[in-house]
Structure 1
């Protein structure tokens, strides 16, 4: 790590450009989900995880790990989604002390309707804007950042 904590002009421009792109892209994607399908970005994230599970069910802590959400945020959000009929809680077959979060038919229909439109928007606003050559560079750079974060977390865990 550099001794100088400050970013130079090039680094500052790149960082701010990345932050602006991430914020505006997320805002556009989530605004579309809300307006067209009545789903928040958080709803969509939960529905994707449940729909990709072979059984359409996961324990709340597994959803928390998949989304990197705090337990209280997950609990509150799942309650709101259950009230809207997108998910339901059922006793876990292996351990009745815990509940499984189950994708309902309404939740499955919601993700089936929204996902193709969401993917088309990701393609239009990100994939095609970036282009195939830069897409590979972004993937490589993203993987490098994720590796650095994992390394940092492992160091913090081990002292």
Structure 2
């Protein structure tokens, strides 16, 4: 392999890893304040439907997080938009553990009035069943942290 191409692939891989790590860390913090929710959304705002399913799900989650800070009259439309992004990500990659974790976290934290809670148990089971096979140590840490701190605690 051409050494230049090897370096290019290596750098691209590290950039993607760093981006994923930053997005995951920012997603977790996004629930703490409006400023952090906006900072998280800035990371995913440019995502389109042709991007990876994980990015689509994060964008949907970001939209639903920002909805908390909207006037009541605008919240519902924003939440529905976020849910559509997440559902499209699930359709694109139904066996993607990270996408299912994002959907689970949104479903468990949205008010029941949005009726976006029908996959909580199936997502939780899917994620727990997949956990032993996940190679991405940061994703495993994220999942374990979510289950320990947030999932099913309400």
Normalized against structure 2, the TM-score is what? 0.35
Larger radius of gyration: 1
Which one has more relative contact order, counting CA pairs under 8 Å at least 6 apart?
1
Report the structure, 1 or 2, having the larger strand content: 1
